[in-house]
Structure 1
């Protein structure tokens, strides 16, 4: 270390130090000009750069501020502590940029604008978001002002750390298979039998030594137990049981694994409840103990999904209580007699804030949080209501235990009461702070916690029918192309005029300009010519929600909880009162009388008391979803679209749907007709799709954000029936949020998204472990438009916010 510091000190103060990048055996080394080794890169970076370093046309240069580098070396106690941030610049022919960007993306490495580089070369970043029709509309500094360089690096580091940790865990490889109970109606797959084994170990405490957090050690001649992360000592071996996190990828049957655990341990639950009743002292606030499992879900529609799963896999072997709605069962004895109780986070939190709170007066055998990332904020009433439940075992089900930062999974460890990480302060001390300081010990510690408390597998281990993806490349007709160029020129002139004005992004920015061109690709000449007076906020809001994806949150004006913005029915639909209130789907469902008639319009429940006339109108609004025969969209559609028009994309979609309707698939030896789902983020696009399907005499169903949760289930059931309509129109966010769509085997994505995570979630719900048929996914892309650029720019979920054309909201 001293020698290296001496070599660096010979350079002039304030200089940027440059290093050679060289592959040697299994490491990528950084060398001074005299050949002295500075250090080596982390494993994931090495794997990505190794094949690139062999390309003769590419040159690599590592750079770092000399002062910061020397400070890091001088403050390190030993070489392994000296972890420094180094920029690596890649120089090469422009023709290689796109292919290089795709290669790095596949290794989950994203290029950033360099702080230091040779300015004699033109800068090109294949990962940067661009707008082909609006070049140089804003200075780069203006586009990037929303997020600091350090914040971008931290967020990318989180994504990379999660990937490396999941690749480094090996608990799943060491699990034995545990068969399901005879009362289970469904044969468990191998990975579910191993999940059952994991859960049984975590509940009993019978865990292999290599995966325990406490390990035996000799301390001053005495046998002690030392925590592998905090180094805390204990004279007796602490118990390591009480639940964990099942974090398998979506679609791998986590709910079936839990049901297998419930039925296998139901007698054990009875014995535990009886022993607890026989104890001399009850736990604080607990009035009754039960063998029952309490399952908590994000919203009411998922209660229906669980009810269906229980009926399929357990038949009549268990007694289930649905604890939701105004008439829910509140009697302690009745709840305690049940085997499974289903409720929502909102119902639990609402009860906890009132005097009528039976769920917190029961000592449960087990509590299961479905979509457990819903409580990733410890300061919310959702988290507190769940954490305060009295239970023997606690389980979190989530395919995304870490979404935005390490604190996400820290909040789940708090709920699990995994000491000492039942305290967020302790979790931050031992995990978050080292990570932010780029200390590699953070990864080591997180791997230890994952191997002990978390089971995470992906669909790669399954033999699924898979999916076939195709992109339909289209060209605009001459009239469409003319209107597209006309709109592009208007927007281009406006953007250029606004360069440098501070209010530009508030009034109209690149996001909105890009939006208008994307809508034109869908609607063609049906779309009226662009006018500032006809700018539709609903289109912008719907696209904005799709770009933000699942991580973005808003606070519901009624329950005051941060909920995923995609779960807000009126996130893109203002109330009649034009107020600022936003309600989550559950709270809006509780005020069904807010509807003012057929269609999406509602009164705000917080702004007005409703009379009987409005309740009557709401009852009349429950019309059949099939075909929309009453033309309930026509009145507003006439004001939005031209009376006559042509859309190349709508014609191609209609033709593809007609072909799909003529196809069949073989299921369990039977020939069945295919079913199709059409996804778009815009309700107006679905209006136009519906118009084309009616003209082609194609029967269809429709579900969007204005459809009540109770009605959604009926429509989905109708779609699943063999004799029901075979085409479903659905907004992308609706399909991605909590619905199982395995009845479909043809999926049509009308438009590409900058943030493809919501689109992927919707597709993933159709490709699940019980899916029998290969799913064919068709995307539409119009050549020589913004859509062609989007095809190559579908990168990770934060790219949109990092580019700076949308604000970076709370929760993303």
Structure 2
């Protein structure tokens, strides 16, 4: 290492070398050492320098067999650029850069690597044994509802992890000897300690979505309130003696992705817990900032965005309290260590830390490594250690990676699937439909128009072929062709003849995001409000009258709605703030569904007529719409239905058809503020006259509990089937009492048929190249 770094050390100030060590880890390792040679610690070495010298420095290090990896900590003001990152030229340029600054991976993983990761995760899950050996814990008498068997075992596991009373079989530190001396040796890293390290402080509850992780966590909170009070009092006493001024609270701090999830937790508390649990909602402009009030609460609920917004000031309100417990809901949100979400959450102090997520590993092994780092599960509180002992062996094909991951899972995670539950079954049916002659003529004519435009390199990028966008324009034109044909499959002859000028950019952006998800890249959008990356699901489609490229997460839009002139969210908050908004045009006002109790489908008609008169014909025919409405009308008086489409225009057309049939319905889409969504969901559940709920697919797949419905209609296929599955899973949950019927629609001899049969890898090729195996270019 010294030989590799020595030439660089001589080049100061051109090159800067920085050694980084975590203070707590240094102190602990030195404290354990009984002799000087044991007082050895690992540090990370970061290299800073001019970007133009990256390749040269990377080559010099490679010659000495040293390779750069993403650091756990580095100076945030400098962009990270690793010359040792592998680039696959054949895959470069395949991801479309959207105008709203979507941040996506620059190169797709090789399919073989994806398959290896899936195989590893499957093998690890099949090898776990701890869940089968957990005892039953009935739960505290203050629970109004009985815990199900698997929730009782979850409570038992969580109590073990918090108390440290862990069965020997599932401890990571085991007794051993070295040099005739009795020691404790870590089963993975082989680190030695003279004293037995404590194995307590939380873990990961990774049950599948819909198994009641929230209720299990609430049962833990209620059962340990007294223990929390004793801990906080003891800590205050110790602080008083030492003269320090740190605050301690017996409360559990719960961090959720959105205000909608705050309501979900509050509803669960009301449903399952008897009166007496003091809960504080730390969110919004008027949130409670009195430290004494927060300190005396039993539960404090906030959002990742709220934490991030207070990150800049030193010692923000929530950071000034040492909590008894921190719970991260949808914890995979912090899987990227470079985000403010990760840094703010890991900086918080607490006795116990919990991660709730149905997807601890999304795209790479480092995802769960980030959760272990948040848990401070030493020595894997360092992501570098996780990469060294888990990721690198996996990349090298070493079987030790699987065995080590099994040990970590059984020690720190509880993972079960819905197979252990007796949930109501769900049936699926497929409607294979054929276009009418009129629809086919319009489809074929649109297809020819699109091919002609692609041939001239026309796309939404200004200047087309003469402005440096040749390759990207053609590819994006192909994407647009596929998109327009998919939309036409829904609308039939209701839709006016295709024109590039009359496209709906809002719907196109939604489709682009859906396509990125289909590539399995886990893309995220950078919010221009909080400056945080947001997952595609649960993000708004941002179609402002300014026609700007700004993009905002739903929570930032929800906060902006409190300001004058922003109630309808037709204006971009940034443009509005700095006086760049155009004059109001009353014809363009978009009314929010759920704004008042008189939210009738007639309002949808007014909105559709004013906004889409240049898009839809007053009369027309759609085979798919006819089939959908016919299916919805079956048993409509005794069932409740959710209709999913990824396009708002399709929802507008469905709304018009339902209104004609006098079927009362509600609607939630990407423009619906978080503060309104729960009201609409509650209304759908309790209003006997509201038989149908219209939803955009991404909205329905994020943060909603929709057990009031027992019929699901998927109007069009998605690039990624998991998006559909997540939406469906919102209805198939523990409190669902009825069998769920899922209906899917496909049009024969169209792009939908090709989507149905393609595998993930072929979808990627079809999306950006429209190439068949024989190399011929095609769109259908």
Normalised TM-score (structure 2): 0.79
Match of 2:377 among 402, 406, 418: 418
What is the rounded CA distance, in whole Å, between the counterparts of 1:628 and 1:702 in structure 2?
Answer: 13
Match of 2:529 among 539, 550, 558: 558
What is the rounded CA distance, in whole Å, between the counterparts of 2:93 and 2:348 in structure 1?
Answer: 48
Output aligned runs, 1:179-578, within 5 Å: 179-280=138-239, 287-354=246-313, 357-495=316-454, 503-507=470-474, 508-549=476-517, 551-569=522-540, 571=541, 573-578=542-547
Conserved? CA contact 2:591–2:607, under 8 Å: no
Secondary structure of 1:352 counterpart: coil
Q: Does 2:752 match 1:787?
A: yes
What is the rounded CA distance, in whole Å, between the counterparts of 1:756 and 1:772 in structure 2?
Answer: 25
Deviations 1:49-79 (A, max 9, x none): xxxxxxxxxxxxxxxxxxxxxxxxxxxxxxx
Match of 2:768 among 778, 798, 805: 805
TM-fit CA distance, 1:802: 6.4
Conserved? CA contact 1:599–1:633, under 8 Å: no
Match of 1:639 in 2: 614
Match of 2:573 among 600, 604, 608: 604
Change (3 A) 1:382 1:628: farther
TM-fit CA distance, 1:383: 1.1
TM-fit CA distance, 1:140: 11
Change (3 A) 1:286 1:439: farther
The 10-residue stretch of structure 1 (584-593 or 349-358) with the greater mean CA deviation from structure 2: 349-358
What is the rounded CA distance, in whole Å, between the counterparts of 2:93 and 2:385 in structure 1?
Answer: 39
Match of 1:651 in 2: 626
TM-fit CA distance, 1:495: 4.4
What is the rounded CA distance, in whole Å, between the counterparts of 1:379 and 1:686 in structure 2?
Answer: 38
TM-fit CA distance, 1:548: 2.9
Change (3 A) 1:580 1:352: same
Secondary structure of 2:574 counterpart: coil
Secondary structure of 1:434 counterpart: helix
Change (3 A) 1:213 1:694: same
Deviations 1:197-223 (A, max 9, x none): 110110011111111111111212221
TM-fit CA distance, 1:751: 0.5
Change (3 A) 1:578 1:140: closer
Deviations 1:789-811 (A, max 9, x none): 22223x55x7645666299xxxx
What is the rounded CA distance, in whole Å, between the counterparts of 1:802 and 1:332 in structure 2?
Answer: 55
**Unaligned ranges ≥5, structure 1:** 1-114, 116-138, 663-672, 808-812
What is the rounded CA distance, in whole Å, between the counterparts of 1:557 and 1:144 in structure 2?
Answer: 21
Conserved? CA contact 2:161–2:201, under 8 Å: yes
Q: Does 2:666 match 1:688?
A: no
Deviations 1:135-192 (A, max 9, x none): xxxx999979998786333233222221221111111111111111111111111111
Conserved? CA contact 1:143–1:804, under 8 Å: no
Conserved? CA contact 1:288–1:362, under 8 Å: yes
Match of 2:51 in 1: none
Q: Does 2:601 match 1:627?
A: yes
Match of 2:743 in 1: 778
TM-fit CA distance, 1:747: 0.7
Match of 1:61 in 2: none
Secondary structure of 2:137 counterpart: coil
Secondary structure of 1:778 counterpart: strand
Output aligned runs, 1:170-185, within 5 Å: 170-185=129-144
Match of 1:723 among 688, 695, 698: 688
What is the rounded CA distance, in whole Å, between the counterparts of 1:799 and 1:585 in structure 2?
Answer: 33
Change (3 A) 1:625 1:196: same
Conserved? CA contact 1:599–1:632, under 8 Å: no
Change (3 A) 1:632 1:148: closer
Change (3 A) 1:162 1:236: same
What is the rounded CA distance, in whole Å, between the counterparts of 1:512 and 1:619 in structure 2?
Answer: 26
What is the rounded CA distance, in whole Å, between the counterparts of 1:478 and 1:286 in structure 2?
Answer: 78
TM-fit CA distance, 1:600: 6.1
Output aligned runs, 1:58-69, within 5 Å: none
Q: Does 2:731 match 1:766?
A: yes
Match of 1:660 in 2: 635
Secondary structure of 1:252 counterpart: coil
Match of 2:672 in 1: 707
Deviations 1:555-591 (A, max 9, x none): 111211111133332x3x3323332221111111111
Conserved? CA contact 1:746–1:775, under 8 Å: yes
Conserved? CA contact 1:576–1:604, under 8 Å: no
Normalised TM-score (structure 1): 0.76
The 10-residue stretch of structure 1 (141-150 or 246-255) with the greater mean CA deviation from structure 2: 141-150
Conserved? CA contact 1:577–1:607, under 8 Å: no
Q: How many residues align?
A: 655
What is the rounded CA distance, in whole Å, between the counterparts of 2:95 and 2:229 in structure 1?
Answer: 59
Change (3 A) 1:628 1:240: farther
What is the rounded CA distance, in whole Å, between the counterparts of 1:656 and 1:141 in structure 2?
Answer: 44
Conserved? CA contact 2:642–2:693, under 8 Å: yes
**Unaligned ranges ≥5, structure 2:** 1-87, 97-104, 459-464, 771-780
Conserved? CA contact 2:707–2:730, under 8 Å: yes
Secondary structure of 1:290 counterpart: strand
